[in-house]
């Protein structure tokens, strides 16, 4: 049986097994010879050591001998679908798609408020979602492109995809342009008024990436970009502006500006050395923390005012408002240590956005079911 097994191995192109047997030099390692002291079975050719033919040596042998230590190694075939999935995962890390949870729930809240007045439409809901995701993707991809030089120098950001060479700058720019074009299409499908306002929205979304070069108010520009979500979603349904979604947008502006000020505490030293502007870098850590707290106090007060206007007797909204307030202010406690800010940034603000919007949407829909 051993001879038959060895013969099959030699025919299949596998290398003979290595051994430290008596046929080897002292202390050395050699290939085990395919020979036996017993006669070979009738009808079975005597196996010999495997010798690749000229044809195989020319590259037709599917088994490569270039592996470490002479180990057999087959060429890896990657399916195009696997390559596409890998590229999607890379772009997902580039734009941090999970951070859509900051603006998307508020956009849905604005859409529901508009639908109560103008009527529900699955088609409009679809294009609102496309508009929000594509606008954010364009803004994030462009931000990574615009900040690539700073990201490569900053110890906190040098592991990002562009500094590491995983994504080329041109790829990020093309992704930003494509997403902006998709945003325009979504806005046009919603209404001509929304399409006409696209240049204003893109100026804010893309212009934010350059604000740190000349103003410490960049945190509030970022807040404005996310605060457009509920206003735009309401406008997409009703084609009019209203006080409630505008107040929601203002609350989002101050909420985002507050946690972005806290987030900038991580880069206070680098920003000062690089000549970049931020509230912590221009003033001080103490001032930045107090301003962030003030922003969040005003934001939660605005949301309470919205509650008194729209949901004075709906306990669900006030549960959501209470949870939002708890998560928003708890992050100030967690962020007292700068190294904990990154974790508090996503966890606390993500849950705050999701819970408040979910309870507010439910409170809005219940009387109409």
117-145 pLDDT tens trace? 999 999 999 999 999 999 999 999 999 99
Q: What SS3 class is residue 31?
A: strand
Parse the chain into domains and list their residue ranges. 2-64, 98-368
Say which CATH topology domain 98-368 has.
Tetracycline Repressor; domain 2 (1.10.357)
Residue 19's beta-bridge partner residues? Answer: 30
pLDDT at 77: 66
What tens digit of pLDDT does each residue of 286-330 get?
999 999 999 999 999 999 999 999 999 999 999 999 999 999 999
C-alpha 24/C-alpha 113 separation (Å) is: 83
Residue length of the chain: 369
**Using CA atoms, how far apart are residues 63 and 52, in angstroms rounded to an integer?**
10
List beta partners, residue 73.
Answer: 64
- The secondary structure element, H or E, covering residue 221 is helix 218-238
Q: Which residues contact 66 (CB under 8 A, 6 or more apart)?
A: 73
Flag residues of the chain having pLDDT under 70.
1-78
pTM, full prediction: 0.78
Count of H-run helices and E-run strands, the chain: 16, 2
3-state class percentages of the chain: helix first, strand second, coil last, to nearest 5 = 70, 0, 25
């Amino acid at each position: 049986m051993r001879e038959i097994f060895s013969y099959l191995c030699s025919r299949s192109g596998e290398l003979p097994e290595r051994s430290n047997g008596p046929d080897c030099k002292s202390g050395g390692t050699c290939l085990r010879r395919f020979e036996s002291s017993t006669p070979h079975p009738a009808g079975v050719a005597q196996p010999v050591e495997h010798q690749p033919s000229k044809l195989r040596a020319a590259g037709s042998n599917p088994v490569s001998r270039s592996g470490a230590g002479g180990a057999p190694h087959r060429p890896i075939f990657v399916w195009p679908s696997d390559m596409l999935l890998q590229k999607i995962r890379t772009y997902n890390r580039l734009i941090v798609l999970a951070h859509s949870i900051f603006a998307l729930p508020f956009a849905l809240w604005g859409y529901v408020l508009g639908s109560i007045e103008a009527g529900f439409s699955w088609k409009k809901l679809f294009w609102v979602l496309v508009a929000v995701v594509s606008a954010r993707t364009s803004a994030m991809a462009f931000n990574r492109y615009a900040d690539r030089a700073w990201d490569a120098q900053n110890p906190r950001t040098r592991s990002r995809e562009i500094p590491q060479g995983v994504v080329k700058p041109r790829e990020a720019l093309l992704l930003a342009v494509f997403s902006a074009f998709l945003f325009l299409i979504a806005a046009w499908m919603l209404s001509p008024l929304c399409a006409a306002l696209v240049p204003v929205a893109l100026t804010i979304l893309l212009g934010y990436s350059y604000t740190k070069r000349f103003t410490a108010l960049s945190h509030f520009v970022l807040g404005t970009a996310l605060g457009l979500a509920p206003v735009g979603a309401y406008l997409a349904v009703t084609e009019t502006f209203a006080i409630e979604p505008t107040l929601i947008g203002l609350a989002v502006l101050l909420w985002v500006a507050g946690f972005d000020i806290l987030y900038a505490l991580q880069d206070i030293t680098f920003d000062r050395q690089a000549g970049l502007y931020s509230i912590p870098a221009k003033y001080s850590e103490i001032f930045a923390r107090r301003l962030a707290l003030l922003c969040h106090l005003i934001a939660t007060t605005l949301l309470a005012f919205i509650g008194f206007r729209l949901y004075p007797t709906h306990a669900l909204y006030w549960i959501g408002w209470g949870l939002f307030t708890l998560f928003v202010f708890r992050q100030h406690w967690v962020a007292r240590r700068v190294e904990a800010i990154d974790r508090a940034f996503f966890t606390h603000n993500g849950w705050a956005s999701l819970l408040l919007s979910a309870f507010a949407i439910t409170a809005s829909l219940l009387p109409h079911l």
